[in-house]
């Protein structure tokens, strides 16, 4: 029998084979070899690319190096989106490995947020968790946690420690049995358009009539256009499982 | 599955009795609707009430276990030379039929049923058992003369003989209101009753269901019902308890708290209630909180008192405890109530005076006894859901005053000419009651009148009565020939003539003000006239509520506070509509899609580097370590757990313990894949745990570590457990074959048996078994190979295993999510008060200098006072005060003392000339609340249990499960299958005495042990005849009283009270009772014989290389079909173990050649099975030891 844990484990250990190449205009002292890496889907680009950075910096002059950023087929990749989201959103039809171009110059200020240290990622990550819990439990669970629990969540993600992460995240995913679900389902529907990058709404797991909502209901409600055959462009980020990619036929329980 | 539930009882203003379950959403009409009630007072097992005929009734819940009482009498005979033994006795002899003492003449036909509520179970028969031994046919026992000691053998000098006749009677009036018939002389009968309160079951610790039943008569007198207990639910007689004034209302708590209200508005408090004197000794008076408004109503719990004054204000009494039952002062609470009731756990309910709704006091906790807010219970009535506005029932507003009127009522029932009674049959009693009410108002003349006089509500009526009573007492010249409750003119005011048909439209009319006529006016000022909008289908109007049997558990939310609407019920049904199977299918689908994705995205790229390196992960911390060298003590250490991820993705871990030895840094390390168990160690002061490996099990010397806080310890335990399970690749729930064990601390461990465990000569040593913990707290567990697992707590609650894993401190991924529930257990901590006799002062707490502490543990070696004794561990909290334990082995006197010649010695329950010391045992209850994969199986509490160890049966087939209730009844569970392991109900199997142990073998061989230490075999048990037909008495091994039996496939083993293990020889299919007992081993505490006839025990005094352990798991080696007794012992985990069951393990290894000898574990070989310990070995501090088990140990091996 399949266990919840098996699903969670597979979601957690989702990997995208990636080929990093240095942007052609970057000035190097010698030729930069492409760098191949398996990226965890649930993590953030700037969190897992220390190796990439080190690899390319070796061939560059110190003064040429400023903040690193990534681009795929001309689109700057937002580091604050989970890697899996970026891939599914922009490159789901591409052949593997996923080819990402690495830049060290001309930071696209209007498209990307700066990420000078991992503290920034941590702050963003914790903000997402808190926002989701506000919707799920009126922030009760996250607020009752100790500082070290917050730290463990983050360290779990940072060090790819499934058990460490889920030992804490489990608490965020529980609800009292009499509640029949979370207060609201935290979700965002991302679109590959720049004018409205994502849609977010309050959405209860149970309809006023008492039925359980399905993801289909959610889509119908939030983003009717996505129901059209073209709907494959939508990418679901469930903050409730934090940063997990789910197939579309998911019921919201 | 049925969750444990309890009931809130209430009476609406029409006298109908309803119950509301703690797991329910609707008020359900009491099953027996023949009567209307004024008052009810409930406890868990029954409810007492005063009906509108002012008679007292008791409603005893039906259950699977019958209420039965054994009558006995003795037939005595004397030998004479002419006729041998004959009925002719000497003139100086006893009666030919007498009681056991011979002083009372008791012929068989002199026994009659005590009331119409009883029936005989069978005819008289002869008891053929004397002190655990079977007698000759006929049951005669012989002696030289009366009175003397009797033996089962006839000797040359046996001049007299006697035999015991027994007959059972059974209480039959269950689930109905049984009228309490008084056997007293008519003129001594109490006048009609006005109020009743029951409680006091905690005054004694006996499980016999003794109850204190207190009642108040209309004349304001207080009566106590004598001898109410489990097997006498009606009690025997009423006795008058004098009071300082006229009492109007009374309330009795579960313990010794008893308050009553006086007519003048004060409260009186009973003092001196205890086990020997449940009626108490004297009254103290407590003044009302306000001088203008007296107390109208009072209700008490364990140590709380609530009252309502005549202005309907609610008050809470501060400072009430068992030393000061009067408390110190009143605090006014928010809200206005008609009455309040305090239930179990000191929870409080009240009836609002404006809306007549029942309110529950929220937030009542041990630390905040007065609670926080009132919350209305909005549950509807079950009947409202189907009922389409039947208003006839509204007319049932019966209130009767006397027996006379009740007779009239019955006359009406016979006549049945009432116009309303043909409109709706089910409510005809109500209609007749209405007529009765009419009669009450107008007297006999108006009996046939169709105009009814509605008492607007029972409280008014009572008040009227009370007024009547008072008025009568005030004026002596009042005509006493009138029926006592006949309404006088002032009470008459509340009766209104209304037309019957009108009444159907306007059930309640305004009442004329009663305020001027009575000092109790505030009580009656509720004006129902303003409540026209409340029809029967609106919310019910309540008159009385009793929470005395209602246990509100803080952990399971109540469904009383949200209106049961279509919406919520549809939610319920919808959420139920997603079946586990659907969820599983859906989960599987997702899993498959994820797997496909992984395959698609990763298949060709597995050689890529990982973005995040899986480095070594380390948890470090500061703990304390019980150091290896002498003197042993706790020392501070640094601890690090290093986890490596192997190339296969699996983890392994090493635990390092860094310590200083003579200012030199050193460390020890443990590979977690070698750890066999991590177990919390009972310790009042330290949060400590022990790690065993096979080597350390042999040594009986685990690594012991202690953390600063419980949380820190649980973090470590959780992590270490997970690491151990990971390194052994163990996850998910235990298999059906799992071996379960329980420590003396109540912790539950489970081990997956490898096929080599029972593999003859190549048998795996049992110190290599890996045990993992499962949440929960139990005293014993029994299982079988089909996954049916039951447990029993220290408080005798029965628990069913849900199939989950984890729980307790094991959280997160090592625990299953769905089937973990809150579990609690209660046990006692005992201390001893020791005294020595001296010629001057008699017994005093001044001992000899060489004596033990005057307050000590059982051994006398540890000082244990009431104040310094703590619960067993920080997880436990006290739930009672210290009380004297009268159930100590050996018996006690009336004050609980046990006497002996000197310390330490064997104690007896009465003082003799030779006794110079005495002791008494004090007990205090403590409670643990934890969680685990267990669900309660209410309501019968159990002592022992056994499940048939079947191995190959289909899923649907019934699983035989036998149990012993904590009262000693033998029970057979019906409807147990693999799909429904809880079964459906208990079938009671009659016995002539209480039983203590039971076991069923693979071929339905049921063996049991009675409390007198004798063994019984149950004949003809089969799937078609689950309870069998009769008991066969099996003589015990010589002079031994048995205490446990276990039946495997064919083997039968018993254990006696001196720790000897015996094997039953000569059992064949045609002679299943066998022929003789064969001694196997001594020093055994508990045993389990499995479906392969494998024998496992918990043994005392197992000598390891470093230490001695008591309570050790041992496995009998060399057990073969031709050698069922086996050869020797192999020693496993321990000490500190209490219970093991191997009855699930039917995994048979392919057996090789028959072994000649079985190797004995060299480390444990010092303690051979026949070798008596010399008591010289160091009895050092062994883990998990508590004083109880140490005492047990001492008793069993006499060291």
What is the end-to-end Cα distance of chain A in Å, rounded? 19
Q: Which residue has the higher pLDDT, B564 or B259?
A: B259
Q: Which residue has the higher pLDDT, B942 or A106?
A: B942
Q: Is the pLDDT of residue B577 over 90?
A: no
List of chain A residues whose C-beta atoms are within 8 Å of the C-beta of residue B612: 40, 43, 48, 158-160
Residue B1196 makes CB contacts below 8 A (sequence gap 6+) with: B1058, B1059, B1083, B1085, B1100
Q: Is the pLDDT of residue B581 over 80?
A: no
Please, what is the Cα angle at B269 between B267 and B271, to 5 degrees?
Answer: 165
List of chain B residues whose C-beta atoms are within 8 Å of the C-beta of residue A212: 574-575, 578
* DSSP state for residue B622 in the 8-state scheme: E
List of chain B residues whose C-beta atoms are within 8 Å of the C-beta of residue A53: none
Mutant choice from B608, B651, B803 vs A, greatest count of A C-beta within 10 A:
B608
pLDDT at res. B196 = 95
E strands, A5-67, are: 15-22, 35-40
Residue ranges per structural domain of chain A: 14-103, 118-172, 187-244
CB-based contact, B582 to chain A, within 8 Å: no
Q: Tell if the CB–CB gap between B614 and A160 is shorter than 8 Å.
A: yes
Taking the C-alpha atoms of residue B58 and residue B67, their distance in angstroms, rounded to an integer, is: 14
List of chain A residues whose C-beta atoms are within 8 Å of the C-beta of residue B610: 15, 37-38, 160
- What residues form DSSP beta bridges with B1115? B1096, B1130
Q: What is the pLDDT of residues B1052-1093, one digit of tens each?
A: 999 999 999 999 999 998 899 999 999 999 889 999 999 999
Looking at the complex, report in whole angstroms how far the Cα of residue B567 sits from the nearest Cα belonging to chain A: 6
Looking at the complex, report in whole angstroms how far the Cα of residue A121 sits from the nearest Cα belonging to chain B: 16
Q: What is the average pLDDT value for chain A, to the nearest integer?
A: 72
Token readout for B88 is 């002719």
- Residue by residue, what is the 3-state secondary structure of B534-551? CCCCCCCCEEEEECCCCC
Q: Tell if the CB–CB gap between A38 and B597 is shorter than 8 Å.
A: no
Confidence band for B1194, pLDDT divided at 50, 70 and 90? very low
pLDDT at res. B631 = 87
Q: Tell if the CB–CB gap between A15 and B602 is shorter than 8 Å.
A: yes
Averaged pLDDT, B549-555: 81
Q: Cβ distance B508 to B532 under 8 Å?
A: yes
pLDDT at res. B466 = 43
Candidate from B574, B589, B593 with C-beta closest to A212:
B574
Fold match between domain B7-65+174-183+193-383 and domain B616-716: no
Q: Is the pLDDT of residue B912 over 60?
A: yes
Q: Tell if the CB–CB gap between B591 and A7 is shorter than 8 Å.
A: yes
Averaged pLDDT, B224-248: 91
Averaged pLDDT, B270-295: 91
CB-based contact, B608 to chain A, within 8 Å: yes
Q: Which residues of B395-421 are buried (b: 16+ CB within 10 A; e: fewer)?
A: bbbbbbbbbbbbebbeebbeeeebebb
Q: Cβ distance B646 to B652 under 8 Å?
A: yes
Taking the C-alpha atoms of residue B38 and residue B27, their distance in angstroms, rounded to an integer, is: 18
Q: Is the pLDDT of residue B361 over 70?
A: yes
325-344 in B: which are within 8 Å (CB) of A? none
CB-based contact, B581 to chain A, within 8 Å: no
Taking the C-alpha atoms of residue B403 and residue B405, their distance in angstroms, rounded to an integer, is: 5
pLDDT at res. B451 = 40
Q: For the beta carbon of residue A179, count every other beta carbon within 10 angstroms.
A: 12
Taking the C-alpha atoms of residue B377 and residue B657, their distance in angstroms, rounded to an integer, is: 57
B534-to-B391, B524, B531, B540 alpha-carbon distances in Å? 12, 19, 6, 8
Candidate from B595, B604, B611 with C-beta closest to A10:
B595
Looking at the complex, report in whole angstroms how far the Cα of residue A198 sits from the nearest Cα belonging to chain B: 24
Averaged pLDDT, B640-662: 78
Looking at the complex, report in whole angstroms how far the Cα of residue A99 sits from the nearest Cα belonging to chain B: 13
Most confident segment among B125-139, B377-391, B478-492: B125-139
* Chain A CA closest to residue B610: A38
Q: For the beta carbon of residue B1090, count every other beta carbon within 10 angstroms.
A: 28
What is the end-to-end Cα distance of chain B in Å, rounded? 48
Taking the C-alpha atoms of residue A245 and residue A238, their distance in angstroms, rounded to an integer, is: 7
Q: Tell if the CB–CB gap between B812 and A167 is shorter than 8 Å.
A: yes
CB-based contact, B650 to chain A, within 8 Å: no
CA neighbor of B941 nearest in space, from B243, B208, B229, B420: B208
Q: Which residue has the higher pLDDT, B96 or B382?
A: B96
Q: Which residue has the higher pLDDT, B614 or B646?
A: B614
| A and B: number of Cβ contacts within 8 A | 111
Averaged pLDDT, B843-850: 70
Averaged pLDDT, B897-923: 83
Candidate from B571, B605, B617 with C-beta closest to A38:
B605
List of chain A residues whose C-beta atoms are within 8 Å of the C-beta of residue B22: none
Taking the C-alpha atoms of residue B802 and residue A151, their distance in angstroms, rounded to an integer, is: 34
Averaged pLDDT, A90-110: 82
A35-40/B609-610 β-pairing: parallel
3-state helix, strand, coil in chain B (%, to 5): 15, 35, 50
List of chain B residues whose C-beta atoms are within 8 Å of the C-beta of residue A82: none
List of chain B residues whose C-beta atoms are within 8 Å of the C-beta of residue A167: 811-813
User: What is the CATH T-level fold of the domain B7-65+174-183+193-383, as seen in this structure?
Assistant: Methylamine Dehydrogenase; Chain H (2.130.10)
List of chain B residues whose C-beta atoms are within 8 Å of the C-beta of residue A16: 601
Among A18-32, B956-970, B1012-1026, which stretch is predicted with the lowest mean pLDDT? A18-32
Candidate from B571, B602, B722 with C-beta closest to A180:
B571
Q: What is the average pLDDT value for chain B, to the nearest integer?
A: 78
Taking the C-alpha atoms of residue B261 and residue A12, their distance in angstroms, rounded to an integer, is: 68
pLDDT at res. A94 = 77
pLDDT at res. B812 = 62
Q: What is the pLDDT of residues B81-131, one digit of tens each?
A: 887 888 878 888 888 899 988 889 999 999 999 899 999 998 999 998 887
Q: Cβ distance B95 to B105 under 8 Å?
A: yes
* DSSP state for residue B1039 in the 8-state scheme: T
Looking at the complex, report in whole angstroms how far the Cα of residue A153 sits from the nearest Cα belonging to chain B: 13
CB-based contact, B609 to chain A, within 8 Å: yes
Q: What is the pLDDT of residues B445-478, one digit of tens each?
A: 444 343 434 444 444 444 444 444 444 444 444 3
CA atoms within 13 A on the CB side of B58: 29
ipTM of the complex: 0.76
B1015-1018/B1031-1034 β-pairing: antiparallel
B380-381/B26-29 β-pairing: parallel
CB-based contact, B610 to chain A, within 8 Å: yes
Q: What is the pLDDT of residues B961-983, one digit of tens each?
A: 999 998 899 999 999 988 889 99
Averaged pLDDT, B1130-1138: 88
pLDDT at res. B268 = 96
Q: Tell if the CB–CB gap between A43 and B604 is shorter than 8 Å.
A: no
Residue ranges per structural domain of chain B: 7-65+174-183+193-383, 68-171, 616-716, 825-927, 939-1119
Q: Tell if the CB–CB gap between B604 and A17 is shorter than 8 Å.
A: yes
Candidate from A11, A17, A174 with C-beta closest to B605:
A17
- H/E stretch holding B351: strand B348-352
So what's the architecture of A118-172 in CATH? Orthogonal Bundle (1.10)
Q: Is the pLDDT of residue B44 over 80?
A: yes
Specify the 3-state DSSP secondary structure of B763.
Answer: coil
pLDDT at res. A177 = 58
Residue B9 makes CB contacts below 8 A (sequence gap 6+) with: B17, B18, B19, B40, B42, B47, B545, B546, B547, B549, B550
Q: Cβ distance B523 to B459 under 8 Å?
A: yes
Statement: B616-716 belongs to CATH 1.20.140.10: no
Class of domain A187-244: alpha beta
Please, what is the Cα angle at B854 between B850 and B855, to 5 degrees?
Answer: 135
- Whose tokens are 């010695």? That residue is B905
Confidence band for B1192, pLDDT divided at 50, 70 and 90? very low
Q: Tell if the CB–CB gap between A40 and B612 is shorter than 8 Å.
A: yes
Confidence band for B1018, pLDDT divided at 50, 70 and 90? very high
List of chain B residues whose C-beta atoms are within 8 Å of the C-beta of residue A247: 590, 593
Q: Tell if the CB–CB gap between A2 and B587 is shorter than 8 Å.
A: yes
Q: Is the pLDDT of residue A146 over 50?
A: yes
Please, what is the Cα angle at B1188 between B1185 and B1193, to 5 degrees?
Answer: 75
Candidate from A16, A97, A247 with C-beta closest to B590:
A247
User: What is the CATH T-level fold of the domain B939-1119, as seen in this structure?
Assistant: Methylamine Dehydrogenase; Chain H (2.130.10)
Q: Tell if the CB–CB gap between A14 and B594 is shorter than 8 Å.
A: yes
Candidate from A39, A96, A166 with C-beta closest to B812:
A166
Candidate from B588, B589, B722 with C-beta closest to A163:
B722
Looking at the complex, report in whole angstroms how far the Cα of residue B265 sits from the nearest Cα belonging to chain A: 45
pLDDT at res. B650 = 62
CA atoms within 13 A on the CB side of B699: 12
Confidence band for A206, pLDDT divided at 50, 70 and 90? low
Confidence band for B184, pLDDT divided at 50, 70 and 90? low
Q: Tell if the CB–CB gap between B611 and A1 is shorter than 8 Å.
A: no
List of chain B residues whose C-beta atoms are within 8 Å of the C-beta of residue A253: 578
**pTM higher than 0.80, yes or no?**
no
Q: Is the pLDDT of residue B891 over 70?
A: yes
Q: Is B1138 exposed, middle or buried (0-12, 13-18, 19+ CB in 10 A)?
A: buried
Candidate from A14, A163, A210 with C-beta closest to B574:
A210
Taking the C-alpha atoms of residue B533 and residue B543, their distance in angstroms, rounded to an integer, is: 18
Q: Which CATH number fits domain A14-103: 3.40.50.2030, 3.10.20.620, 3.60.21.10, 3.40.50.300?
A: 3.10.20.620
Averaged pLDDT, A54-64: 79
Looking at the complex, report in whole angstroms how far the Cα of residue B817 sits from the nearest Cα belonging to chain A: 9
Q: Cβ distance B350 to B338 under 8 Å?
A: yes
* Chain A CA closest to residue B559: A178
CA neighbor of B18 nearest in space, from B540, B564, B462: B540
Among B79-93, B335-349, B710-724, B733-747, which stretch is predicted with the lowest mean pLDDT? B79-93
pLDDT > 70 in chain B, percent: 77
B798-to-A125, B430, B556, B935, B943 alpha-carbon distances in Å? 47, 41, 18, 8, 9
Looking at the complex, report in whole angstroms how far the Cα of residue A195 sits from the nearest Cα belonging to chain B: 30
Q: Tell if the CB–CB gap between B601 and A160 is shorter than 8 Å.
A: no
Taking the C-alpha atoms of residue B558 and residue B24, their distance in angstroms, rounded to an integer, is: 8
Q: What is the pLDDT of residues B593-637, one digit of tens each?
A: 888 888 877 777 777 777 776 666 778 889 999 988 888 889 999
Looking at the complex, report in whole angstroms how far the Cα of residue A159 sits from the nearest Cα belonging to chain B: 6
List of chain A residues whose C-beta atoms are within 8 Å of the C-beta of residue B571: 180, 206, 210
**Ordered strands of the B247-252 beta sheet:** B247-252, B258-262, B267-271, B282-286
pLDDT at res. B781 = 96
List of chain A residues whose C-beta atoms are within 8 Å of the C-beta of residue B591: 2, 6-7, 10
Among A73-82, B229-238, B531-540, which stretch is predicted with the lowest mean pLDDT? B531-540
Confidence band for A220, pLDDT divided at 50, 70 and 90? low
pLDDT at res. B880 = 84
Taking the C-alpha atoms of residue B642 and residue B625, their distance in angstroms, rounded to an integer, is: 18
Averaged pLDDT, B204-223: 84
């Amino acid at each position: 029998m399949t266990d919840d844990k098996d699903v969670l484990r597979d979601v957690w250990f989702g990997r995208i084979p990636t080929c990093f190449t240095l942007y052609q205009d970057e000035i190097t002292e010698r030729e930069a070899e492409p760098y191949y890496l398996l990226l965890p889907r649930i993590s953030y680009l700037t969190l897992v690319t220390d190796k990439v950075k080190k690899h390319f910096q070796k061939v560059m002059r110190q003064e040429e190096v400023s903040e690193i950023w990534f681009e795929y087929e001309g689109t700057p990749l937002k580091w604050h989106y989970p890697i899996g989201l970026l891939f599914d959103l922009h490159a789901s039809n591409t052949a593997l490995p996923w080819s990402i171009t690495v830049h060290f110059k001309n930071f696209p200020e209007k498209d990307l947020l700066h990420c000078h240290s991992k503290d920034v990622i941590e702050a963003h990550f914790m903000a997402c968790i808190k926002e989701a819990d506000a919707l799920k439990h009126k922030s009760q669970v996250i607020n009752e946690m100790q500082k070290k629990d917050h730290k463990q969540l983050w360290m779990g993600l940072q060090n790819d420690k499934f058990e460490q992460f889920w030992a804490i995240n489990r608490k965020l995913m529980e609800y009292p049995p009499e509640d029949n679900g979370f207060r609201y389902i935290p979700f965002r529907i991302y679109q590959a358009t720049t004018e409205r990058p994502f849609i977010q709404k309050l959405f209860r797991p149970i309809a006023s009539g008492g039925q359980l909502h399905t993801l289909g209901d959610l889509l119908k409600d939030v983003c009717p256009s996505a129901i059209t055959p073209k709907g494959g462009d939508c990418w679901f980020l469930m903050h409730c499982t934090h940063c997990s990619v789910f197939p579309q036929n998911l019921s919201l329980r | 599955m049925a969750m444990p539930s309890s009931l809130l009882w209430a009476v609406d203003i029409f006298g109908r009795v309803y119950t509301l379950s703690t797991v329910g959403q609707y008020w359900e009409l009491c099953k027996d609707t023949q009567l209307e009630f004024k008052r009810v007072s409930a406890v868990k097992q029954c409810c007492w009430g005063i009906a509108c005929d002012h008679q007292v009734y008791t409603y005893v819940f039906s259950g699977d276990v019958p209420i039965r009482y054994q009558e006995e009498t003795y037939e005595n005979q004397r030998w004479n030379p002419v006729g041998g033994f004959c009925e002719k006795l000497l003139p100086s002899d006893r009666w030919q039929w007498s009681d056991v003492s011979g002083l009372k003449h008791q012929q068989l036909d002199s026994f009659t049923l005590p009331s119409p509520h009883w029936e005989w179970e069978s005819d008289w028969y002869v008891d053929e058992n004397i002190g655990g031994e079977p007698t000759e046919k006929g049951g005669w026992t012989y002696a030289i003369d009366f009175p003397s000691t009797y033996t089962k053998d006839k000797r040359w000098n046996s001049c007299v003989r006697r035999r015991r006749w027994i007959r059972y009677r059974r209480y039959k009036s269950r689930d109905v209101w049984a009228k309490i018939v008084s056997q007293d002389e008519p003129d001594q009968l109490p006048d009609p009753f006005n109020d009743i309160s029951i409680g006091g079951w905690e005054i004694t610790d006996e499980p016999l269901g003794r109850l204190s039943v207190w009642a108040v008569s209309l004349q304001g007198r207080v009566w106590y019902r004598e001898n109410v207990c489990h097997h006498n639910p009606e009690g025997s007689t009423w006795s008058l308890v004098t009071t300082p004034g006229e009492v109007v209302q009374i309330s009795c708590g579960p313990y010794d708290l008893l308050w009553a209200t006086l007519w003048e508005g004060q409260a009186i408090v009973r003092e001196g209630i205890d086990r020997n004197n449940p009626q108490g000794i004297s009254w103290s008076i407590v003044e009302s909180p306000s001088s203008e408004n007296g107390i109208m109503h009072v209700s008490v719990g364990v140590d709380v008192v609530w009252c309502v004054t005549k202005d309907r204000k609610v008050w809470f009494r501060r400072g009430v405890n068992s030393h000061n039952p009067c408390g110190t002062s009143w605090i006014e609470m928010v809200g206005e109530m008609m009455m309040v009731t305090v239930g179990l756990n000191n929870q409080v309910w009240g009836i609002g005076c404006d809306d007549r709704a029942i309110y529950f006091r929220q937030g009542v906790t041990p630390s905040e006894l007065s609670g926080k807010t009132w919350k209305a219970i909005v549950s509807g009535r079950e009947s409202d859901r189907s009922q389409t506005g039947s208003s006839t029932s509204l007319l049932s507003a019966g209130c009767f005053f006397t027996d006379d009127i009740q007779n009239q009522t019955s006359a009406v029932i016979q006549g049945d000419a009432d116009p309303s009674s043909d409109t709706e049959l089910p409510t005809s009693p109500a209609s007749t009651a209405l007529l009765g009410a009419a009669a009450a108002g107008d007297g006999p003349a108006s009996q046939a009148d169709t105009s009814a006089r509605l008492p607007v509500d029972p409280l008014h009526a009572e008040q009227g009565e009370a007024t009547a009573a008072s008025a009568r007492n005030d004026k002596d010249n009042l005509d006493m020939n009138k029926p006592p409750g006949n309404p006088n003119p002032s009470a008459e005011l509340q009766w209104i003539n209304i037309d019957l048909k009108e009444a159907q439209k306007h059930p309640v009319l305004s009442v004329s003000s009663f305020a001027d006529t009575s000092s109790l006016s505030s009580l009656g000022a509720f004006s129902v006239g303003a409540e026209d909008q409340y029809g029967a289908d609106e919310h019910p109007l309540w008159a009385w509520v009793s929470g005395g049997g209602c246990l509100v558990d803080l952990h399971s939310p109540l469904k009383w506070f949200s209106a049961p609407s279509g919406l919520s019920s549809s939610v319920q049904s919808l959420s139920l509509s997603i079946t586990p199977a659907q969820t599983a299918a859906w989960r599987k689908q997702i899993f498959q899609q994820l797997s496909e994705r992984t395959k698609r995205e990763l298949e060709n790229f597995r050689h890529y580097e990982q973005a995040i390196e899986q480095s070594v992960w380390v948890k470090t911390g500061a703990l304390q370590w019980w150091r290896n060298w002498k003197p042993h003590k706790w020392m501070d250490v640094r601890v690090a757990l290093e986890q490596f991820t192997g190339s296969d993705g699996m983890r392994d871990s090493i635990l390092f313990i860094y310590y200083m030895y003579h200012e030199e840094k050193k460390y020890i390390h443990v590979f977690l894949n070698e750890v066999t168990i991590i177990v919390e160690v009972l310790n009042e002061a330290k949060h400590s745990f022990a790690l065993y490996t096979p080597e350390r099990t042999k040594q009986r010397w685990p690594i012991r570590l202690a953390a600063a806080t419980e949380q820190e310890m649980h973090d470590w335990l959780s992590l270490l457990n997970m690491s151990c399970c990971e390194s052994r690749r163990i996850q998910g729930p235990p298999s059906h074959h799992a071996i379960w064990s329980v420590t003396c601390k109540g912790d539950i461990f489970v081990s997956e048996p490898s096929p080599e465990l029972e593999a003859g000569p190549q048998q795996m040593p049992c110190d290599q078994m890996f045990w993992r913990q499962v949440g929960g707290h139990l005293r014993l567990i029994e299982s079988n190979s089909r996954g049916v697992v039951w447990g029993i707590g220290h408080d005798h609650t029965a628990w069913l295993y849900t199939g989950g894993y984890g729980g307790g401190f094991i959280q997160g991924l090592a625990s299953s999510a769905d089937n973990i529930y809150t579990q609690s257990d209660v046990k006692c901590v005992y201390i001893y008060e020791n005294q020595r006799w001296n010629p001057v002062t008699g017994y005093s707490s001044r001992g000899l200098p060489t004596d033990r502490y005057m307050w000590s543990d059982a051994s006398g070696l540890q000082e244990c006072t009431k104040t310094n004794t703590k619960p067993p561990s920080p997880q436990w909290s006290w739930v009672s005060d210290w009380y004297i334990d009268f159930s100590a082995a050996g018996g006690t006197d009336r004050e609980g003392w046990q006497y002996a010649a000197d310390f330490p010695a064997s104690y007896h329950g009465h003082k003799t000339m030779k006794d110079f010391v005495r002791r008494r045992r004090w007990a205090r209850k403590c409670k643990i609340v934890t969680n685990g994969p267990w669900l309660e199986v209410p309501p019968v509490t159990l002592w022992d249990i056994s499940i048939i160890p079947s191995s190959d049966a289909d899923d649907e087939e019934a699983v035989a499960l036998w149990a012993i209730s904590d009262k000693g009844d033998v029970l057979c569970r019906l409807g147990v299958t693999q799909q429904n392991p809880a079964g459906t109900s208990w079938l009671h199997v009659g016995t002539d005495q209480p039983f203590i142990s039971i076991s069923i073998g693979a071929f339905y061989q049921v063996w049991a042990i009675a409390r007198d230490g004798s063994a019984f075999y149950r004949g003809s048990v089969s799937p078609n005849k689950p309870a069998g037909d009769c008991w066969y008495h099996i003589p015990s091994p010589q002079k031994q009283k048995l205490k446990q039996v276990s039946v495997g496939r064919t083997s039968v083993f018993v254990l006696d009270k001196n720790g000897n293990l015996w094997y039953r020889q000569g059992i064949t299919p045609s002679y299943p009772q066998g022929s003789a007992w064969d001694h196997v081993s001594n020093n055994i505490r508990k045993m389990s014989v499995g479906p392969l006839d494998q024998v496992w025990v918990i043994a005392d005094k197992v000598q390891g290389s470093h230490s001695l352990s008591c309570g050790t798991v041992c496995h009998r080696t060399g057990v073969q079909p031709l050698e069922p007794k086996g050869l020797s012992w192999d020693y496993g985990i321990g000490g500190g173990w209490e219970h093991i069951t191997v009855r699930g393990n039917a995994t048979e290894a392919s057996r090789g050649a028959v072994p000649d000898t079985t190797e004995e574990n060299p480390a444990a070989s010092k303690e051979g099975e026949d070798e008596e310990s010399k008591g010289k070995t160091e009895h050092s501090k062994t883990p998990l030891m508590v004083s109880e088990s140490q005492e047990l140990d001492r008793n069993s091996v006499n060291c």
